[in-house]
Chain A
């Protein structure tokens, strides 16, 4: 790890000011991605600005949506009664991330900001058509996830919360990478009155994406059998030592089928 300064921000405005003042500052949330990166000397920020004291940890339900503060850890989302009732797919997604330690440190803001192509949250945020609230503006999920590890965030922009509309039904099924247990393929299925939205993580070369053929089939009939015989193109899918694009394509349909069955 390279030497770096650690500071704690008092609130979002203070964090933004500190970030702007630093040469190469980095926001620190749960540290579950950032700290290993630092330890491996893959990043050398001059300043770490900790968001822990900014009052960003909260979960609130308002009518047809749930708003989750950026610093809310995965365990809190997984264990929250309102989340479990309104959006069981989201609760089980959060409860399936990493292990206990990771879930008690890692945050939704950190996960979404990092946009790891194998991370779970982006699938929920995109499938639910969520909104990312930042220190500067509100960004629709559709516009937020730009590519692998890339988002629409400006360098000095801070996620404050994420709002996720409540679907009629939802489920998230992850096929874990056997080694890392991140998503090798993760599919979030959300049924809304006006149609079904399906987002896929772990598989796309550009990160999370919506599976339109699956959405169409499920919108026509919300039944796992609607996906029988469906095949996905392997174009644009990742291939690595754990899974080829063809296998990932197969798993997407299979995990979607299981997600529908779990709804």
Chain B
């Protein structure tokens, strides 16, 4: 950090964007209204699985104030494309992922409760909603397919898709893994369930679509996490519109957690209908629609086997996964349980042989896709549960068992048995620090003290690794990805020396306005207030890939850094010219271009001015202006890691689990704004504890979502948490300029197994060995009852 600037890299600067959010001045999609605007409301299926016999729109269409009612037939007649899958994988037999059509309005069949069947457009939302109730859809119901374990033998959901299996993929060396198991001293097995979650961003999805028939162009305001990707998909695959005729704007977006990555049917329908009706159309989901139709997360069954040798070293791992992907394949539904899951199965451990088979299954439930962590929480959960199950079976301390299996810090770069090459890490350092923070040594006395109060106390560890900054494009392409995964930035210096940064990353709560500005302010030696971050508008920013996978800083931030470097390089040449020095003698430091070893210097502002008022300018070598673009395609993923430790107390009389302490030490590489990082860690832990303790999407046997409101879907709340102890160790990423790794998903990835390990540890004196998520009061109470009954027998 340059001297005197307490707001550069490493400073916990308060978030620039918070003033507007805290004072209610944010501008969200639903805040946008246009003259002549119509409102859309969608008729959704109330059955899980059925043939559509007829859709009678007559009464609805005749209602006063209704502009139009559209059905799947209208969409088909217009040749509108369906929603696409952004990543596919090969099957074990060499065939391709089955990609059934996903029309933006269902035509022949519905495949989950909430599936969009018709669209009503009216002059008010109330009218649209009233008219929607008059749309009469007759169904021939088919058996619902809800149970993941038996989905393969249930009713066929997509024509010609055998066993309701979208794909059947493998990774790793099956023969080598079998060989490891044949030599094992211990084999530990478990079946582990990863429960289904519903993302629940504070702001529900929304869209305002406008069509200008004079220019034949569109503007779509959307709650998207990645405007350019949305533009590409809606233009090229769904509506067949030139990209240059489509502007996508994501204004303030109130959280996404993955659920706003994808193009959804509703915004495509609104855009299509805006042209047909030549009127702006607005749609905003209410909470019920959000529960029913936002892409859900997780939902795996994993059969896991771990092989250990005489020295308690892990020598093999085999994982068979059933992933519930719902009624249709959402955009990144395929990559989430495969390349974002199977590749993480080595965790922070040196495991020589790993094999995994993943079957992506269809059920008549909402589509499932990437949700904070996306695949990595599922991988971490099964691995970190297995670490504890195995440690218990061999009678070893779980911290020690992890330690002896860690990849040693001198073994990097480390090639895992499941494709990834970790560039750098030191897993013992955060483990040691977290053990110290929670006073691991003193735990047994805390357990004894709790027992005196009639409580069972338990402690649980989770040492995780994640692969973030999703990249490089060439690798992604080779693995079946259909997108690039670089990021872009334009750094535009104004004549007065202020700077506007146009980034392809998108902030929907992450604090980019502050973190990105700190990078620029630090590198250019200018005040933070002089840096403006612009994102979320395809007409302003360079083609970008948006935000997910903890990639904004590692990829987007690096692109910004590279563009700033180009500005500095150009500035040096301008300064050399003005100071009549050689380029090679120029230094840039603390906001000044100086001739090395002299007191001759020009400030950043002077150079900016002369770039735009180029009276004394090296015209023979440079064009005027000071604006640079960088596209950064990373060389590798980044690998944040760390250890989280949960301590819980259980009330045996009720089964209630209380989280009493949490210590975590993460290695995110260099930190730009530690306060924002801490916030990300807190939020991630809250979501992970939510999964482990409280949240669960529950469909009944008919495919009705029973948890479609906050009366039944249990979100974590502040009073579910103790004060969280957060600390860091640092091994800087070796392959990006900032040495950063990403922190957005870590908490959600690390925390569920820590919590469940703590619950199981608390109950282990009773002989309890497992607990499914969420560890709800009744489940825990029953586990205690069963253990006591067994003990009495």
Residues of A within 8 A of B (CB): 1-3, 40-41, 175, 177-180, 182, 241-244, 247, 250-251, 254
A244 contacts across to B, CB distance below 8 A: 778
**A3, A40, A242, A254 — which one has the most chain B CB atoms within 10 A of its CB?**
A242
- The contact of B711 among A41, A175, A179, by CB within 8 Å, is A179
Shortest CB–CB separation between residue B381 and chain A, in angstroms?
Answer: 21
A41 contacts across to B, CB distance below 8 A: 129
A242 and B126: CB pair below 8 A? no
Apart from A179-B694, A182-B711: 18 A-B pairs, beta carbons within 8 A? A1-B126, A2-B130, A177-B711, A178-B714, A179-B710, A179-B713, A179-B714, A179-B715, A180-B710, A180-B711, A180-B712, A241-B698, A242-B776, A243-B777, A244-B778, A247-B777, A247-B782, A254-B654
**B130, B288, B698, B711 — which one has the most chain A CB atoms within 10 A of its CB?**
B711
17 contacts between A and B (CB under 8 A): A41-B129, A175-B777, A177-B711, A178-B776, A178-B777, A179-B694, A179-B707, A179-B712, A179-B715, A180-B710, A180-B711, A182-B711, A241-B698, A243-B777, A243-B778, A247-B781, A254-B653
B175 contacts across to A, CB distance below 8 A: none
B653 contacts across to A, CB distance below 8 A: 254
B706 at the interface (CB under 8 A from A): yes
**A177 to B129 CA separation, bound complex (whole angstroms):** 32
Shortest CB–CB separation between residue A103 and chain B, in angstroms?
Answer: 16
A250 and B712: CB pair below 8 A? no
A177 contacts across to B, CB distance below 8 A: 711
In the complex, residue of chain A having the shortest beta-carbon distance to the beta carbon of B706: A241
A40 and B288: CB pair below 8 A? yes
B654 and A251: CB pair below 8 A? yes
Closest 7 interchain pairs by CB?
Answer: A179-B714, A180-B711, A247-B778, A178-B714, A254-B653, A241-B698, A179-B712
Shortest CB–CB separation between residue B648 and chain A, in angstroms?
Answer: 15
- Please report whether the interface of chain A is mostly helix, strand, loop or mixed according to DSSP: loop
**A250 to B655 CA separation, bound complex (whole angstroms):** 11
Chain B interface residue bracket vs A: 20 to 34
In the complex, residue of chain A having the shortest beta-carbon distance to the beta carbon of B694: A178
Shortest CB–CB separation between residue B239 and chain A, in angstroms?
Answer: 32
**A182 to B709 CA separation, bound complex (whole angstroms):** 14
B781 contacts across to A, CB distance below 8 A: 247, 250
Shortest CB–CB separation between residue B685 and chain A, in angstroms?
Answer: 18
**A250 to B788 CA separation, bound complex (whole angstroms):** 15
B654 and A242: CB pair below 8 A? no
**A1 to B706 CA separation, bound complex (whole angstroms):** 22
B129 contacts across to A, CB distance below 8 A: 41
In the complex, residue of chain B having the shortest beta-carbon distance to the beta carbon of A257: B653
Shortest CB–CB separation between residue A249 and chain B, in angstroms?
Answer: 12
**A1 to B128 CA separation, bound complex (whole angstroms):** 12
B126 and A175: CB pair below 8 A? no
In the complex, residue of chain A having the shortest beta-carbon distance to the beta carbon of B785: A250
B654 and A175: CB pair below 8 A? yes
In the complex, residue of chain B having the shortest beta-carbon distance to the beta carbon of A243: B778
Residues 680-721 of B contacting A (Cβ, < 8 Å): 694, 698, 706-707, 710-715
Shortest CB–CB separation between residue A225 and chain B, in angstroms?
Answer: 14
B654 contacts across to A, CB distance below 8 A: 175, 251, 254
**B288, B654, B715 — which one has the most chain A CB atoms within 10 A of its CB?**
B654
A254 contacts across to B, CB distance below 8 A: 653-654
Shortest CB–CB separation between residue B173 and chain A, in angstroms?
Answer: 42
B778 contacts across to A, CB distance below 8 A: 242-244, 247
Shortest CB–CB separation between residue A3 and chain B, in angstroms?
Answer: 7
**A243 to B781 CA separation, bound complex (whole angstroms):** 11
**A244 to B782 CA separation, bound complex (whole angstroms):** 11
In the complex, residue of chain B having the shortest beta-carbon distance to the beta carbon of A3: B126
In the complex, residue of chain A having the shortest beta-carbon distance to the beta carbon of B707: A241
**A154 to B712 CA separation, bound complex (whole angstroms):** 31
Shortest CB–CB separation between residue A180 and chain B, in angstroms?
Answer: 4
A182 contacts across to B, CB distance below 8 A: 711
**A179 to B720 CA separation, bound complex (whole angstroms):** 12
A247 contacts across to B, CB distance below 8 A: 777-778, 781-782
A179 contacts across to B, CB distance below 8 A: 694, 707, 710-715
**A182 to B714 CA separation, bound complex (whole angstroms):** 12
B288 and A242: CB pair below 8 A? no
B126 contacts across to A, CB distance below 8 A: 1-3
B711 contacts across to A, CB distance below 8 A: 177, 179-180, 182
Shortest CB–CB separation between residue B675 and chain A, in angstroms?
Answer: 28
B712 and A241: CB pair below 8 A? yes
A251 contacts across to B, CB distance below 8 A: 654
In the complex, residue of chain A having the shortest beta-carbon distance to the beta carbon of B720: A178
In the complex, residue of chain B having the shortest beta-carbon distance to the beta carbon of A39: B286
**B129, B715, B781 — which one has the most chain A CB atoms within 10 A of its CB?**
B781
Residues 715-742 of B contacting A (Cβ, < 8 Å): 715
Contact with A along B298-337 (1 / 0, CB 8 A): 0000000000000000000000000000000000000000
Shortest CB–CB separation between residue B113 and chain A, in angstroms?
Answer: 16
Shortest CB–CB separation between residue B175 and chain A, in angstroms?
Answer: 44
**A180 to B714 CA separation, bound complex (whole angstroms):** 7
In the complex, residue of chain A having the shortest beta-carbon distance to the beta carbon of B782: A247
B776 contacts across to A, CB distance below 8 A: 178, 242
**A40 to B709 CA separation, bound complex (whole angstroms):** 11
Shortest CB–CB separation between residue A54 and chain B, in angstroms?
Answer: 30
**A2, A244, A247 — which one has the most chain B CB atoms within 10 A of its CB?**
A247
B130 contacts across to A, CB distance below 8 A: 2
**A178 to B712 CA separation, bound complex (whole angstroms):** 8
Shortest CB–CB separation between residue A5 and chain B, in angstroms?
Answer: 15
**A180 to B707 CA separation, bound complex (whole angstroms):** 11
Residues 737-793 of B contacting A (Cβ, < 8 Å): 776-778, 781-782
**A3 to B125 CA separation, bound complex (whole angstroms):** 12
Shortest CB–CB separation between residue A239 and chain B, in angstroms?
Answer: 10
**A41, A177, A179, A180 — which one has the most chain B CB atoms within 10 A of its CB?**
A179
Shortest CB–CB separation between residue A186 and chain B, in angstroms?
Answer: 13
**A180 to B715 CA separation, bound complex (whole angstroms):** 10
A40 contacts across to B, CB distance below 8 A: 288
**A241 to B126 CA separation, bound complex (whole angstroms):** 33
B710 contacts across to A, CB distance below 8 A: 179-180
A241 contacts across to B, CB distance below 8 A: 698, 706-707, 712
Shortest CB–CB separation between residue B766 and chain A, in angstroms?
Answer: 17
**A235 to B126 CA separation, bound complex (whole angstroms):** 44
**A41 to B41 CA separation, bound complex (whole angstroms):** 14
Shortest CB–CB separation between residue A4 and chain B, in angstroms?
Answer: 11
**A171 to B193 CA separation, bound complex (whole angstroms):** 40
In the complex, residue of chain B having the shortest beta-carbon distance to the beta carbon of A254: B653
**A101 to B694 CA separation, bound complex (whole angstroms):** 24
**A88 to B510 CA separation, bound complex (whole angstroms):** 45
In the complex, residue of chain B having the shortest beta-carbon distance to the beta carbon of A244: B778
A1 contacts across to B, CB distance below 8 A: 126
Contact with A along B113-144 (1 / 0, CB 8 A): 00000000000001001100000000000000
In the complex, residue of chain A having the shortest beta-carbon distance to the beta carbon of B777: A178
Contact with A along B642-655 (1 / 0, CB 8 A): 00000000000110
**B712, B776, B778 — which one has the most chain A CB atoms within 10 A of its CB?**
B778
In the complex, residue of chain A having the shortest beta-carbon distance to the beta carbon of B125: A1
